[in-house]
Amino acid sequence: MSPLRFYYREGCHLCDDMLQELKRLQTEWRFELIEIDIDRYPEFRDSYHTRIPLLEDNQGRCLSEYFLDQASLLSYLQGA
């Protein structure tokens, strides 16, 4: 399975909450997660400035935005 991309910003409480949930699910589902701090990359900051936290699959499809959509993530992980 290709890694998922998690876009976040330091100091963002919604980002911290989603990351905590993702880490918990990661132990059970064993998916790879790439964490991208949008403030380190101008192209991501411009694109995701108001959309964080955001979780994308390897094709750039949004699986969750602002809050973790656990049903969407589990559906993706199960191959649906």
pLDDT of residue 49: 87
pLDDT value of position 38: 96
Please give the model's pTM, rounded to 2 decimal places: 0.92
Q: How confident is the model at residue 2 (pLDDT cuts 50, 70, 90)?
A: confident
- Sequence-distant contacts of 25-33: CB under 8 A, at least 24 apart: 25/70, 25/73, 29/74, 29/77, 31/1, 31/3, 31/4, 31/77, 32/1, 32/2, 32/3, 32/4, 33/3, 33/4, 33/5, 33/6
Query: With bands split at pLDDT 50, 70 and 90, how would you rate the model's confidence at 27?
Result: very high
| pLDDT tens profile 44-73 | 998 888 899 999 999 999 999 999 999 999
Q: At which residue do the structure tokens 């108001």 appear?
A: 50
Q: Does 17 score more than 90 pLDDT?
A: yes
Domains of the chain by start residue, with CATH: 4-77 (3.40.30.10)
